[in-house]
C-alpha cells in the first residue's frame, strides 16, 4: 500500500469531508479513498478481457443487424 499526504486543504473542504465521513461511518482516510475510487472510476481492463465480455453480452442479447433499406425509408419519411 502507498501513502499520500495532502497539504493546504481549505478549511471548508476539510469540514465537509469530515461530515461526510461521519455520515458514512468511515474514517476520513477511508472516505478519501472511497471518493477517489468513485471519481476516478474503475481500473482499465485488458483488451482481451473486454472483448470477451462484449462477445458474451452480444450472445445473450441476440443483436441482429439493422435493415438498412428500412432505416433509409424511416429517415426519408422523417425528413418529409
Q: Residue 14 and residue 7: Cα distance in Å, rounded?
A: 11
16 domain residue, yes or no: no
24 domain residue, yes or no: no
56 domain residue, yes or no: yes
22 domain residue, yes or no: no
Q: What DSSP assignment string belongs to 42-63?
A: SPP--HHHHHHHHHHHHHHHT-
Q: Is the pLDDT score of 34 beyond 90?
A: yes
55 domain residue, yes or no: yes
Q: Is the pLDDT score of 16 beyond 80?
A: yes
What total of structural domains would you count in the chain? 1
53 domain residue, yes or no: yes
Task: Kindly report the pTM of this predicted structure.
Answer: 0.53
pLDDT-derived band at 59, boundaries 50, 70, 90: confident
Amino acid at each position: 500500500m502507498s501513502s499520500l499526504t495532502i497539504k493546504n486543504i481549505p478549511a471548508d473542504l476539510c469540514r465537509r469531508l469530515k461530515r461526510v465521513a461521519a455520515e458514512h461511518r468511515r474514517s476520513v482516510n477511508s472516505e478519501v479513498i472511497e471518493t477517489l475510487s468513485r471519481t476516478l472510476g474503475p481500473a482499465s481492463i485488458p483488451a482481451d478481457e473486454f472483448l470477451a465480455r462484449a462477445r458474451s453480452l452480444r450472445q445473450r442479447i441476440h443483436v441482429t443487424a439493422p435493415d438498412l433499406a428500412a432505416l433509409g425509408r424511416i429517415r426519408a419519411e422523417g425528413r418529409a
